[in-house]
Structure 1
Amino acid sequence: MTTHADEAYPHRIRAAVLRQAGEPMKVETIRLKAVGPGDVRVRIEKTGVCHSDLSLATGKLAQLLPAVLGHEACGTVVETGSEVTDLDVGQRVILLWITPCRACYPCENGQPHLCENGSARAAEPHAVTEAGEPVYPGLTVGSFAEQTVLPRAAVVPVPDDISTEDASLLGCAVTTGVGAVTHTAQVAEGSSVLVIGAGGVGLSVLQGARLAGATTIIAVDRSEAKVEQARAAGATHFVLADDDTKKAVRGLTGKRGADYTFDCVGSARTIRDMWSMTRRGGAATVVGIGGKDEPVSFSALELFHFARTLRGCVAGSVDAATDMPRFFDWVRSGDLDLRGLVTGHGTLADVDQALDELAAGRGVRTLLSTGEPGRP
C-alpha cells in the first residue's frame, strides 16, 4: 500500500547523516523528496570534503539536524521535472551551493553570489529518515549521499572533455579560491600576493594569483609538509606560520607588506595577521569562513592611517551560470591543475576520517565516491 509519505519521499538512498554536532556521522538509508516540476535528481559520482563541512559538523557553523552535509560535487542527472527542458537524463552536472534567484536586490545589481535567497534551501528538508524525521541538506546540497534533489538552477552542465573528478572541485574550492583573486580582489599583473592557509581553497588562490600574473606569491601555512604543493600551485615563496612570519613576509615585499592578501583560514588571529601583512593602501580579502563568536578588532587610527581595504569574499564572487566556461577553459589548457588538490580518496564510510585529516591540517582534499556507478 502506497502512503502519502511514500509519494512525497519516494527515493530510498544511502547517505552519511549527521545527527549531533561533534559526533561521527552514520551511513544510513533516507528517503529523498519527489522531484518537483523545476527540479532535477542527481546521482552523486564524486564529492569533495571541504573545510566548511568540518565547520558544520563540529557546530562552528549552525546547521539544522539531522543533516546530510557535502556541497562540492559532480554527478549525473537521473530524473528531471516536467518544466526542465534543457537537461537530459545522463547529463553530468556540477552542483551549486548558492542558487541565485535572479530577482532580489543583489541579483539585480551584479552580485548574484550574495543572493538573498541563495541559501534558503539549507533550512528546507530535502529528505526524511526511515522513521519520518526531516533531514536537511548541508549548504543546500547534501552531497554526502548517493543522490540528491535540487532545483535546475542549482546545477551547471559539464562538457564531455572535463573529467568528473575535476568538475567536482569546481563546485566550491577552485571557483572560490581562483574567483577571490580574479573576481573579488581583481589582482593586478606584476603585484605581490600573500595567502594564509594552504588548504584546497588556499592552493586555489595561489593558482589564481599565478593566472593573474602576480610576480611575488607568498604562501603561509602551519605545516611545512605543504611546501611542495604550495610551490606547485604557484607560490614563489613559502613561509612557515610562526612568531617570525610577519618579519619574513616584510622581507620579501620591500618591507612594505603584500599588495594583496588573502586569509583562507577564517580565524580572528589569521585575519588580523593578514591585515598587518598588507601594505599601506593594499587590499585584504577574507576567504575562510570564521565563527560568529570570533571578533576582530581594529583601532580607528590604523584604519585611517594604513588606508587598507578589507573585504569578505563569498564563493569567489563567481556567478557559476556565466563564469564556469572560463574555468573549463583553464582546466583544458592546463592553467588550472586540479588533480594536485586531491590527496585522498574514499567512500561515504570514510567521511569522518577525511574531516579529521582537515582538522589536523593534513592533506588537502579527499574525494569520496558515493555509490555504485551506473546505479539509477
Structure 2
Amino acid sequence: MDAPTPTPTRTPAEIRRWRRYLAAERCEAAVYRDLAATRTGEEREILLALAAAEKRHEQHWLDLLGDDVGMPRRGDPRTRMLAFLARRLGGVFVLALVQRAESRSSYADDGHATAQMAADEQIHEEVVRSLATRGRNRLSGSFRAAVFGANDGLVSNLALVLGIGASGVTTGTVLLTGLAGLLAGALSMGAGEYVSVRSQRELLEASTPAPSATDALPDLDVDANELALVYRARGMDADEAEAKADGVLHRLQATGVPEGIAEDEEQTNHETHGTAWGAAVASFFLFSSGAIVPVLPYLFGLEGTTAVVVASALVGLCLLVTGAVTGLLSGTSPFTRAGRQLLIGFGAAGATYLLGLAFGTTVA
C-alpha cells in the first residue's frame, strides 16, 4: 500500500497570507461581476471572463489551504471599497481604480503563487486599462475642460485676491476685486471657448466633402477619370487611386446610383465638443465655480490674515481633490497628482502675494 502524501509544512504566517489572497480573489471576482451587471455586449463578456479568471485563482488558494481554509474572510478595505463603488457607480472611475489594484499584485514575488497566476494579473491590468481607456476617450474633452476651467478659476482668483490683499487695501476693495476677477475671467473663458469651438467646427466643415461632388459623378468622363485625383489628394498612390475611382464609376454604371465620395474617405476621428454656446456656458460656470472659492471668506466678513489663510486652505483642498481625481482617472497615483496640483497653484498664488507685499503700502 502506498504511503499517503505528506501534507506540506506551512507556517501560521503563510496560512494567514493565503487566506488574505483567497479573500481578495473572491472580492475582485465580485467587483468584475458587479461591473459586468452595468454593461452590455462585449464589455460585459470581457468583465465576466475576468471574474472567471479570478475564480481560478481562488481555487488555487482553496486547494493550497485545504482544511486550513477556515471561515470566509472579508477582503481588505481597499478591495471592499472597490466592490461598493462597482455596485453603486461603475464607469471609468471604478475601472481606473481596478486598474491600479491589478498593478499592485504581489504574485510575482510569492513562491506559492504560480507563474501563470502572476502573468494573469499583469494581463488583467492591461485588459482593464483598455476598458478604462474607452471611457477616458469618451470623457477626455469634457473632463479636460472641467478641470482646466475650475482650476483656472481657483488659481487665478486666489492669486488676484492675495496679491491685492497683500498691497494693504481695504477688505471691501479685495472683495470687489475678487468678484470682478470672477466675472471677467468667466466671461473671458466663455468667450474663448465659444470662439474655439466655433472655429474648430468651421474648419471641420471646410474639410468635409461637398454633397455636390457626388451629384457630379454621373457626368464624369470615364476615360479621363478625374475622380482618381480626389483619392490621390487624400493620400492614396496613383495606382490605388485609379483602382478606387474605377470601382466607384463601374458601380455607378451598374446600379445608376452615385456612391457618396464622403463615404469612401477614411475620416479622422475628431473630438466632439457640442455646440459653441453650450461650451461657452459650461466654461463660464466651471470657471466661476473655482473662482468663487477664494472670495468666500471675504463674503462672510473675514479680514486680513484670517481671510488669507481660510481662502488658501479652501483653494488648497479643492486643488488636492481635482488633482487626486485626475490621478485616479489617469491610472496614476492620486497623491502625486494632488501634490503637483497644489504646488503649481500655490506657487502662482504665492508669487502674486509677494508682489503685493513688495509694491503695497502696508502689510494686510
The TM-score range, normalised by the shorter chain, is under 0.3
Q: Which structure carries more strand by proportion?
A: 1
TM-score (norm 2): 0.22
Which one has more relative contact order, counting CA pairs under 8 Å at least 6 apart?
A: 2
**More helix as a share of residues:** 2
